Amino acid sequence: METKLNSGHGVAAGQGLEELRGDCARMAPHWVVPAALAPDPVPPSLIHGVTVPPASVRLIADMSDYGD
């Protein structure tokens, strides 16, 4: 049994995982991901006006060291 995709390519119903992995490995070089530029860190002296609401402070203070 074969299923036709919109592109006209057929996919066999019994296609195994190994064949699928091989297909993906052959396609991988075509999918190039550009390197992401990391933003420069902001020095603490430039961070002004940060406020934390009291409810948030209580929430964090009541949490264990490893989170809840």
Q: Are 52 and 61 in contact (CB under 8 A)?
A: no
**How would you write the chain as a 3-class SS string?**
CEEECCCCCEEECCCCHHHHHHHHHHHHHHCCCCCCCCCCCCCHHHCCCCCCCHHHHHHHHCCCCCCC
Q: Which residue has the tokens 């964090």?
A: 60
pLDDT higher than 60, residue 10: no
Q: What is the mean pLDDT of residues 17-24?
A: 88
Average of per-residue pLDDT values in the chain: 77
pLDDT higher than 70, residue 67: no
| Predicted local confidence at residue 61, as pLDDT | 82
How many structural domains does the chain have? 1
7 lies in a domain? yes
20 lies in a domain? yes
Q: Residue 14's domain spans which residues?
A: 1-30
55 lies in a domain? no
pLDDT digits (tens, 9 = 90+) for 33-48: 778 888 889 888 888 8
